[in-house]
Amino acid sequence: MNYRINLLPLELQPRPPVEGKRLAVISGLTVLAALILIGGAGWLIKSYNQRVELAVIQSQLASLSPVVRKVEADRAEEQKLQAGAAALEELLARHRVWKPVLDDIAQIVPVDIWLSSVDAAYDKDAAKTLQQTAALAPGAQAGSAGGGAGTPVNPAGSGNSSSGTAIAPAGNASWNAAAGAPGGAASGTAGNNPTGTGANPPAGPVQQAGRVAGQLAQRNQAQQAQLAAGEAPAQQKAEAQDKVPLPPNVLTIKGTSRSFPSIGVFVRKLSVLPYFRMVSLKEIDGQEDGTLIFTIVCYLQTA
């Protein structure tokens, strides 16, 4: 076996090109630099790709923005239609058929009474009036308990012009009216057809109710025509769009009679109809020709 011995001093002995520790440091630094370079290159490449994707997405958004606006408009229209459908359902739920009411009124109109108008409207004070009348009803019934009949309605005033107010609760079976008509004396009892003074009116009850129904239809058509032509005030249009109109709760009947008892009979028969909670005779005015112009307010039954 051969051995190689270096007898040179340490200063003169040849050294390895790179020492171990130095080689390890250099290797570590090289690897770290390589990782930094590779990470930076990867980040740059990824950033570039993301910018490209962002540009593509922005172009897609620009092309889809009209569609998005259309979808939002359709969604708003859908909500508006849903609100309109709900309002329509509410209107259908509140719908009231007026033909039976007018037919029954036509059947009970006395022969010497002719109607000039029948108006259905909403009165915000109707509930308050009904409550006040209900509170006063026990005292009125106690005052008429001995005779078994209601208190006659006497017009206030003098000469040939008179006006008065009377309330007839629905379902009261004994309500009489007697008073003098202008130009003569007249008396009658509710439930009987009184004989009026002077000539009969030009048309019968059925014709009168038909004429009144025609007037209501013409009025509704005129209002619809005004709304279609844009002649309605802007405030009324806004209110009509924002909320559902309240259903009518009051029916106002205006007409002319040749005798006061006929008005009492008419009020009595109206109070028996199932459509009204209360019937109130608001006003009676005597005319120079001997006729009486009256106003009757009927409070409708609520659903």
- pLDDT recorded at residue 104: 92
Give pTM, 2 decimals: 0.45
More confident residue, 260 or 14: 260
Residue 123, both tokens = 């009165």
Can you list the alpha helix ranges (DSSP code H) found in 144-259? 205-229, 234-242
- pLDDT recorded at residue 293: 93
Of the CA atoms within 13 Å of residue 112, those in its CB half-sphere come to 21
Is the model's pLDDT at 76 over the cut of 50? Answer: yes
Q: Which residues pair with 254 in a beta bridge?
A: 117, 295
Which residue in 203, 192, 210 sits closest to 99, CA to CA? 210
Q: What share of the chain is helix, strand, coil (3-state, %, to 5)?
A: 50, 15, 35
Q: Which of 44-48, 147-151, 219-223, 285-289 has the highest mean pLDDT?
A: 44-48
Q: How many residues does the chain have?
A: 303
More confident residue, 147 or 88: 88
Residue 251 neighbours by CB distance under 10 Å: 22
Is the model's pLDDT at 45 over the cut of 90? Answer: yes
- pLDDT recorded at residue 216: 58
DSSP state of 157: S
Q: Is 221 left (phi over 0), alpha (psi -120 to 50) or beta?
A: alpha
Of 70-79, 124-133, 279-288, the range with the lowest mean pLDDT is 124-133
Q: For the residues 282-294, what does the mean pLDDT come to?
A: 90
Is the model's pLDDT at 298 over the cut of 60? Answer: yes
> Where exactly are the structural domains of the chain?
18-95, 99-209+246-300
Residue pLDDT, tens place only, 210-255: 555 566 566 666 666 665 555 555 555 555 555 667 788 899 999 9
Grouping H, G, I as helix, E, B as strand and the rest as coil, residue 202 is coil
Residue with structure tokens 């509140």?
Answer: 94
Question: Phi and psi (nearest 5°) for 252?
Answer: -100, 120
